[in-house]
Amino acid sequence: MAVWLKHGMSFNNNGEFVRTEVKIDNGVIAAIGPELAVDADGHVIDVGGKLIAPGLIDLHVHLREPGGEAKETIETGTLAAAKGGFTTVAAMPNTNPVPDTKEQMEWLQARIRETARVNVLPYAAITIGQKGEELTDFAALKEAGAFAFTDDGVGVQSAGMMFEAMKRAAALDMAIVAHCEDDTLKNGGAVHDGDFARRHGIAGIPSVCESVHIARDVLLAEAAGCHYHVCHISTKESVRIVRDAKRAGIRVTAEVTPHHLLLCEDDIPGLDANYKMNPPLRSRADREALIEGLLDGTIDLIATDHAPHITAEKAKGIEAAPFGIVGLETAFPLLYTHFVKTGVFSLKQLVDWLTVKPAQCFGLNAGRLAVGAPADLTVIDLEAEETIDPETFASKGKNTPFAGWKCQGWPVMTFVNGTLVWEKGRE
């Protein structure tokens, strides 16, 4: 039975915010218009003037399964994604075991089919066990359904190994996605090497730890002819390198997280491990460079780096606790409230960075509000105001620095392939 979303709003081909109605039939968008006629037996959902957007896409999440089910599972993580308006997520491979063989990737794909609420694109590891010692079988992993290759969580330390990985990926028309961190410069740090670290006597991670890897890798990508994607960019130097690489015609793309756009080291209130992530919250100048880089196209898209942890782990304090915060359920309202409502971004820009741009960068059949496209949609109430409360999260992870923040712009319905997978009030 076909479904009609009536009395919504969205953007037309000219970028104008207009009344929009959508017909969904057999899992695809069958019609779009300002006022659609409804069949006698059609199912109508009146969205009451709310935003109808393509389902959001997050190319950087940690679902923890297998091996970390106490922190998150594919089921709970994808329910959190649906609640946040995301219909496609890409799952990082730092699990136990790591998806570094065809057999493990096939197991993971089966588990996704069994339990995922939204579309999940699984990354495969660049190196066996993410140990940086031996490359995985890229061709076999692609055949088993790998989305791209990354050792996210650790940087590939050997330039020679990264170059070989890029050549193999390029031959398969696959991307290398990089967590950029030179271990010889990390200094055992827990936060950015800046004012906060000095005030509290904590070892800091310098900006050059990230930027030197990006500088190395863009030159390797140029030589290999590879699509190279930079994870969670965080420093002004990194932005400059990516900007220069793009100007040189190198195929590099980059993402930034909501927390690096919203916060800097000056915002850390004390030794609260909910402000500990990798890369760390940098300086105010770095944060400003990230916003500028997003606005001028140097940074292509926004990704959450959703990283759930057990509450007891985060209670160990900022030096001993693991890196990472959750982000799937709060990304859109945080960004809408603090950038769109304040006039820094337009609503269309924000939606594009979370839909069109990730789809374009990785050639995905997603992120489009168009006839014939998959009916992956999110309905967002731009007027609704709520206070972020971790105890209401669908994610097992409650580790966020944004608890207590009041935000507008909350998803209320999420459709995947035409099926309503989450609706506010019916969790």
152 is catalytic: no
Angstrom distance (rounded) from CA 349 to CA 300: 11
* Count of C-beta atoms within a 10 Å radius of residue 387: 11
Whole-number Å distance between alpha carbons of 10 and 250: 34
72 in Cβ contact with 114 (< 8 Å): no
What is the distance, to the nearest Å, from the Cα of residue 300 to the centroid of all Cα atoms in its chain? Answer: 12
Tell me the CA distances in angstroms from 177 to 92, 214, 225, 308, 332, one per residue in order: 10, 11, 14, 21, 23
Contact between 220 and 246 under an 8 Å Cβ cutoff? The reply is no
Q: How far is CA 269 from CA 232, 272, 399, in A?
A: 22, 7, 15
Local structure of residue 339 (DSSP, 8 states): I
Angle at 203 between CA 202 and CA 205, to 5 degrees: 130
Residue 78: DSSP 8-state: H
Which residue, 214, 247, 205, is CA-closest to 233?
Answer: 214
Tell me which of 152, 305, 352, 376 is the catalytic residue.
Answer: 305
Q: Burial of 312 by CB count in 10 Å (0-12 exposed, 13-18 middle, 19+ buried)? A: exposed
Residue 31 half-sphere exposure, CB side, CA atoms within 13 Å?
14
What whole-number distance in Å separates Cα of residue 58 and Cα of residue 89? 5
Active-site residue numbers?
305
